[in-house]
Amino acid sequence: MNATRSSKKQPPKPDKITFKERLAALRNLPQFFKLVWQTSAWMTACSFMLRIIRSAIPLAILYVGKLIIDQVVMLSRNHGGQSHYHLWQLVALEFGLAILSDTLSRGITLLDSLLGDLFSNETSIRIMNHAATLDLDQFEDSVFYDKLERARQQTVGRTVLLSQMMSQVQDLITMGFLAAGLMAYNPWLIVLLLIAVIPAFLGESYFNDQGYALTRGQTPERRELDYVRYLGASDETAKEVKIFNLSGFIINRFKVLSNQFYSDNKRLALKRSGWGVFFAMLGSAGYYAAYVVIILRAVNGSTSIGDLTFLAGSFRQMRSLLENILTRFTSVSQGAIYLADFFEFFQIKPKITLSKNPRPFPKPIKLGFVFEDVGFKYQNAERWANRHLSFTLKPGEKLALVGENGAGKTTLVKLLARLYDPTEGRITLDGHDLKEYDLAELRLQTGIIFQDYLRYQLTLSQNIAVGNIAEQENHELIKVAAHQSLADELAERLPNKYDQMLGRRFFNGVDLSGGEWQKVALARAYMRDAQLLILDEPTAALDARAEYDVFQRFAQLTEGKSAVLISHRFSTVRMADRILVLEKGQLKEIGSHQELLNLGGRYAELFNLQAAGYR
Ligand SMILES: Nc1ncnc2c1ncn2[C@@H]1O[C@H](COP(=O)(O)OP(=O)(O)OP(=O)(O)O)[C@@H](O)[C@H]1O
């Protein structure tokens, strides 16, 4: 396949986020919470309950502390004349509360991390499930990849959001308890508290916006960085990287990209910490102002020593709680904005639509596939890959496609398998548009092996079974398929026969030669009882004898079935019933080998050119 792809679309540059958008993004939270609840209802409920109990503890500890101090002061004034029993009761109570608090915190952390792991796994599965429903051309679009990448990032990042949301609820309740205590003594302290904390909140939310805009803007480069990392260290690339001595080139590219990230992130981090110091100072000033007020009241005798410690403790805790709540608000709303990216991915719908009342697939096919003035243009491409194609693929016919690189052969078979729908014209099967049939059944009835088939790092048996994965345990069928594609001889030679791990990535893996891999791939086509077989240059890597044998068998095994063969070897092509010559996406000639030779046109020219090479 000769792909000169132009990508005219520029990735969208994100604008800064306004406070309104931040609030609006919170609307994503209920849907997120639903996903978490679906992951594990009991864990979510337990974590929630534990947090509610945990949130009352700080106030209780402070209050018991105050009672202890007042008791100590009273006992010290009485010079030991009274029983200490009540004091030790209070100390024991505070000790019990402290233990309870620790135990609850541990329980909450445990539940959150287990729930987080489950959520991350389930989300990855959701993403894979959704990606499986999307069309091939959506995978060929860089903007789509950016969305996919952002959705993927969310699987891990969002588990943090979950515990943040829960902690937010917990801290709000604790705050409510403490505020009630503080209000009872001196409501002005609350005002002082807000003054101390609000600047920090505004600063935090400003820097979070900046951080988000930066991360989002970096998505394409981040994907490139991942790709460069893969090029630099992977079994699939190692050979070429060595031969062409590319490691310097790759490492340089990695350095340029990663340095760019580093300096962008560093700039922001430096600004953020500078301002952070200033806001922390403001917070401390507010705290000490309140402290002075409380001390003065204690010195005047209007509050007890116990009250002094209670108030100072409440104020200190409330300050840090409020700070946490406000900064967490920015990161929760931040997370909610990232969630929008996540949900956006699930909103991408496949363009290849499924018929609501699909027709049953004809068994057997009676009239065949008819191309009616079919044209196809890849998205973002200038040229038509196929244009004005009109011909019939008759039932049982073996049709070969020939043409120069980029003539549109692979595109034609992709249209036949409905990996794309025609841009113009239509393809019919037994008189009805291909779109009227059930897509899954069409795929099941089509056995197709592409020239760039995958070499799975799986066992030999699994590598063949991918042709019909429902039959992966049907060892007999796998052996028969291997026999038909000549891969059985290979199986005999492998140390673990059909259970041999192929490829080098996993333990005890064995790599195969190009031709051996091709035989394995070819066996996939025989794994299903398809009515249409498509082989896109299936024998390019086979030696002459193997190719002859493969095609002899292919002709016998596919008797009565339609087949489309793409090949640049005329020794293969001539075995077909008819040959379709493509030129710049258009049908140039069609007919049998002999007819086209007699015609003396493009086929005859190409055939004679190749034949001359053998004389
Ligand atoms: N995914 C794609 N996006 C954009 N353009 C594409 C894509 N795939 C192929 N093309 C373009 O469509 C045209 C037809 O390509 P196609 O792969 O069908 O050719 P082919 O005849 O199979 O070539 P080859 O003999 O090299 O395999 C080419 O110009 C190619 O650059």
Ligand 1 atom 17 nearest Cα: 1
Distance (Å) from CA 404 to ligand 1 centroid: 11
Residue 2 CB less than 6 A away from ligand 1: yes
pLDDT tens across 259-292, in order? Answer: 988 998 999 999 988 988 888 888 788 778 888 8
Lowest pLDDT segment from 3-17, 325-339, 381-395: 3-17
pLDDT greater than 70 at residue 342 = yes
Q: List the residue whose alpha carbon is closest to atom 31 of ligand 1.
A: 3
Residue-level pLDDT at 5: 38
pLDDT at 80 over 70: no
**Does residue 9 carry a pLDDT above 60?**
no
Give 36 or 144, the one with higher predicted confidence.
36
Instruction: Name the most confidently modeled range: 213-217, 428-432, 513-517, 573-577.
Output: 428-432
For residue 536, give the nearest of 517, 563, 558, 556 by alpha carbon.
563
Q: Is the pLDDT of residue 510 over 90?
A: no
Rounded Cα distance between 458 and 421, Å, is 32
Contact at 8 Å (CB) between 538 and 521?
yes
Nearest one of 150, 154, 156 to 116, comparing CA atoms: 156
- The backbone torsions φ and ψ at residue 398, rounded to the nearest 5 degrees and listed phi first, read -105, 115
Does residue 614 surpass a pLDDT of 80?
Answer: no
Ligand 1 probe mutation, 1, 377, 450, most atoms within 8 A of CB = 1
Helix (H, G, I), strand (E, B) or coil at 433: strand
Distance from the CA of 90 to the center of ligand 1, in angstroms?
81
Residue 13 pLDDT > 50, yes or no?
A: no
Residue 325: per-residue pLDDT: 83
Calculate what percentage of the chain has a pLDDT beyond 90: 22
Measured in Å, residue 536 CA sits from the centre of ligand 1 at 13
Provide, rounded to the nearest whole percent, the portion of the chain with pLDDT above 70.
94
With beta carbons less than 8 A apart as the criterion, state whether 387 and 364 touch. Answer: no
d(CA 343, CA 31): 9
C-alpha 6 – ligand 1 centre gap (Å): 12
* Cβ-based neighbour number of residue 176 at 10 Å: 12
The full set of domains in the chain, from first to last, is 19-347 (1.20.1560.10), 454-529 (no CATH)
Per-residue pLDDT tens over the stretch 488-504: 898 889 998 899 998 87
Q: Edge-to-edge strands of the sheet including 578-583?
A: 446-449, 532-536, 562-566, 398-402, 578-583, 586-591
**Mean pLDDT for the chain?**
84
Task: Write down the ipTM of this complex.
Answer: 0.96
Rounded to the nearest angstrom, the distance between the alpha carbon of 441 and the centre of ligand 1 is 26
Q: What is the pLDDT of residue 156?
A: 63
398-402 vs 562-566, strand pairing mode: parallel
CA 50 to chain centre: 33
Q: Helix, strand, coil proportions of the chain in percent (round to 5)?
A: 65, 10, 25
Specify the ligand 1 atom closest to the Cα of 136. Answer: 1
Ligand 1 atom index nearest CA of 1: 27
Query: Among 50-59, 349-358, 360-369, which stretch is predicted with the lowest mean pLDDT?
Result: 349-358
> Does residue 386 have its Cβ closer than 6 Å to ligand 1?
no
Helix (H) or strand (E) holding 418: none
Encoding tokens for residue 149? 């990448």
Nearest to 138 by CA among 328, 327, 331, 347: 347
Nearest C-alpha neighbor of 323 from the set 284, 296, 290, 351: 284
The whole-number pLDDT of residue 391 equals 93
Q: Residues near 213 by Cβ (< 8 Å), separated by ≥ 6?
A: 14, 15, 16, 17
Number of residues written out for the chain: 615
Is 175:59 a contact under the CB 8 Å cutoff?
no
